[in-house]
Structure 1
């Protein structure tokens, strides 16, 4: 089934383009797609589950970079050394234009680049199968509060009230040394799609990230992200 593609529209804020992504209140399935070739497109990089007073040892970095196998296209890169055995690295964006206080479902279809092979050994867990991809939502901005995320994303292989596990970082056939990157596509299903209620102002935050049980460095490029929303039945 094909879904109509929504345009990305920036809200004017203090004479500059703000970070909100505006959608038309959907009365059926509608899809918004991001490819990051022209920048962050309303998404922000963030981290949680680590001590901010000792952040340097986590080697956190993010930004728009050329894709590993295609320098003509960009991805949103995130990286961190998981010294807390629980680092959460995520992208977040605020969407507006929904009907207020209305129940919706959301599905994501995305392509990432990973350098984590299958059946590879790592401290605390494997660099691929112990790094879990999550798709979540929040009525207010998701951010680190003291040490943890301020909404319930669950922990590592377990989802939470605000987030579901949708995959991991494993790409079969890659060497365990982490010297090569390859792409994979991850999609939600009926079992792990999100259900949420829009806020009173018709907004919602979505976030996508890696929840790591591997006590090493994780590098990930988000190539394309498509989010499909529709009223819940």
Structure 2
């Protein structure tokens, strides 16, 4: 019940919004994926980095809400991402549009992403980097010269590009391979400045940039962004 307790605390403090696509006066966007198969909270999955010629022996992708695995609260849901690309680097990500901002207005934002993974520092961590960002431009996967390419500057591998506000390890500090929840904050929890587009929108994305050639599985447990208009 940990998610519901935290949500109740935030709601009591006036910090939580249940609106998927717009902002209330608290200027908080909160996705916790708690409605089963319908609990995507407006997030959609995409993949980039793989060749257009890749077949099922090289490429495998699955993205859907699912109950959290053993080691966590198995009565709660998360957004489960499975990916495998045996020929090179692949970016597996979720994206979401949020409207209701003042067009072209600047905001201070703190982004928090709760990941559930079972990886340790001695496994695949050096080949998989978690990345997240917020952009006035929609994150897209486009076919460019035979490769499905991410349209924003996310950087390559463990290097962060200009569009990335949060990056880091998917490894738990625990030595076992059970699932654990990792809390990741943009700018070490300090606000960063973002600017809404002409329509008063911002686009969120979060995923893993992986050079691991075998299957990677992780869960988004919760994604929260808190804004203050400047």
Shift of the 143–67 alpha-carbon distance from structure 1 to 2, 3 Å rule, reads same
With 93-102 and 192-201 compared, the bigger mean Cα shift is at: 192-201
Which residue among 192, 215, 218 is the counterpart of 1:217? 215
Aligned to 1:133: 130
1:142 is displaced (CA, Å) by: 1.0
Aligned to 2:78: 75
Contact 1:174 1:181 in 2 (8 A): no
Aligned to 1:143: 140
Distance 1:102 1:138 in 2: 13
Aligned to 1:51: 51
Structure 1 residues not aligned, in runs of 5+ = 11-20, 121-126
Contact 2:45 2:94 in 1 (8 A): yes
Distance 1:117 1:226 in 2: 25
Render the CA deviation track for 1:37-64: whole Å, top value 9, x for unaligned: 1110111111111124325222100101
Aligned residues: 209
Say if 2:14 is the partner of 1:4: yes
Which residue among 85, 90, 98 is the counterpart of 2:88? 85
User: Normalization by structure 2: what TM-score?
Assistant: 0.81
1:143 is displaced (CA, Å) by: 1.3
Distance 2:159 2:108 in 1: 20
Aligned to 1:41: 41
The 3-state SS of whatever aligns with 1:23 is coil
Distance 1:84 1:104 in 2: 40
With 149-158 and 87-96 compared, the bigger mean Cα shift is at: 149-158
Aligned to 1:198: 196
The 3-state SS of whatever aligns with 1:228 is strand
With 67-76 and 139-148 compared, the bigger mean Cα shift is at: 139-148
The 3-state SS of whatever aligns with 1:171 is coil
Structure 2 residues not aligned, in runs of 5+ = 1-9
Structure 1: 4+ residue segments shifted above 4 A? 190-194
1:71 is displaced (CA, Å) by: 2.3
Render the CA deviation track for 1:115-149: whole Å, top value 9, x for unaligned: 211123xxxxxx12331111112323211111210
1:220 is displaced (CA, Å) by: 0.8
Bigger fraction of residues in helix: 2
Shift of the 60–187 alpha-carbon distance from structure 1 to 2, 3 Å rule, reads same
CA RMSD in angstroms comes to: 2.3
The 3-state SS of whatever aligns with 1:204 is strand
Aligned to 1:170: 171
With 59-68 and 140-149 compared, the bigger mean Cα shift is at: 140-149
Distance 2:116 2:189 in 1: 24
